[in-house]
Amino acid sequence: MALSFKVKAISRSRFLKNFLVSIIFFLSFFLIFFSKSEYFLVNKFKSISNNYLYPITSFFVAPVKVISYIQTELYEFRNLKFENNILKEEVIRLKKWQALAIHNNSENKVLKKLLNSTDSSLTLIKTASLISRNDFMFSKMININAGIKDGVLNDMAVVNYRGLVGRTIDTSIGNSRVLLLTDPNSSIAVKTISNSNYSLLQGSDDGIHLVSTFNKDEKLPRVGDLVITSGSAQVFPSNILVGKIVKVTKEIFYVLPFVDFKNIDYVQVVENK
């Protein structure tokens, strides 16, 4: 049970208190009002907090990070034999695909020469690694160790080997925050590969799937269709893999992203050529 009640309030210097309360009220109002409108002073404040406070908090939670790392290692070690068998089977399957891919690649090169087309539309800005994650309670964000000094700016596309991860927000000199696709406030213009249904996607309530918020011509795709970026919103380059449609209802459809957001180590910041 709690101790019996005793307030040790000190009431000295009334003027100073009132002055401080007024300043705090004014600052709160300023920050709340301008935070939503992304005013540059608030953005600067966010960048500074990210740059200086994060390393301090990371230092204090280092022992927990070590425990988490050991736990992951132990889990992987226990599953080593099982994983080895799966990998052996996968190697056999991939060898067959590799032969086919080499054949297709050489054919593609010849066809591109014939059509005089340009190559990949993406330019790699920087490959960065994950510093910390912020997708615990509300938003879905990660911090990466690439910033303005590496040429990373706000609203650049972030990908990994599986597909689209998100876009950069709050870039500072050495770090950037990435708003993941699964965040309810992220919006992506996409199209399906099979029949080019154009839609807008945003993070769903479960934090795992993406849900459509707008479908062009009210056409709905089918379950199993692959979804790629359409490039029409000018934020994400076109033709980056996003995910696979797993559920279609009367008005909306759900997409399971290809990227495993719980296991992100390295990402690449890219932009249109």
Q: Which of 26, 41, 49, 102 binds another protein (CB under 8 A)?
A: 49
Least distance between another protein and beta carbon 48 (Å): 10
Least distance between another protein and beta carbon 179 (Å): 8
C-alpha pair distances (Å), 47 with each of 51, 56, 129, 271: 6, 15, 18, 22
170 in the Ramachandran plot: left (φ > 0), alpha (ψ -120 to 50) or beta? Answer: left
Piece of 95-103, 115-123, 136-144, 246-254 that binds another protein (CB under 8 A): 136-144
One character per residue 190-219, x = contact with another protein (rule: CB under 8 A): ---------------x-x------------
Piece of 110-118, 135-143, 212-220, 234-242 that binds another protein (CB under 8 A): 135-143
Which residues does 39 contact at the CB level (< 8 Å), separation at least 6? none
Piece of 66-74, 191-199, 218-226, 246-254 that binds another protein (CB under 8 A): 66-74
> Contact between 42 and another protein (CB under 8 A)?
yes
Quick one: which of 118, 164, 179, 171 has its CA closest to 148?
171
Q: Which residue, 8 or 81, has its beta carbon nearer to another protein?
A: 8
**122 close to 271: Cβ distance less than 8 angstroms:** yes
> Contact between 10 and another protein (CB under 8 A)?
yes
DSSP 108-146: HHHHHHHHT----SEEEEEEEEEEEE--SSS--EEEES-
Piece of 68-76, 101-109, 146-154, 157-165 that binds another protein (CB under 8 A): 68-76
Q: Which residue, 38 or 107, has its beta carbon nearer to another protein?
A: 38
> Contact between 40 and another protein (CB under 8 A)?
no
What single-letter amino acid sits at 232?
Answer: S
Which residues does 227 contact at the CB level (< 8 Å), separation at least 6? 190, 191, 192, 193, 201, 221, 241, 242, 243, 244, 245, 255
User: Interaction with another protein in 141-160: which residues (CB under 8 A)?
Assistant: 141
Find tokens 């052996």 and name the residue. Answer: 88
Total site size for another protein, rule CB under 8 A: 59
Quick one: which of 231, 65, 226, 182 has its CA closest to 132?
65
Distance CA 166, CA 143 (A): 12
What single-letter amino acid sits at 138?
Answer: F
Q: Which of 125, 156, 165, 170 binds another protein (CB under 8 A)?
A: 170
Q: Which residue, 125 or 180, has its beta carbon nearer to another protein?
A: 180
Report the interface residues with another protein, using CB under 8 A.
1-10, 12, 17, 20-21, 24, 27-28, 31-32, 35-36, 42, 45-46, 49-50, 53-54, 56-58, 60-61, 64-65, 67-68, 71-72, 75, 132-139, 141, 169-170, 177, 179, 184-185, 205, 207, 262-263
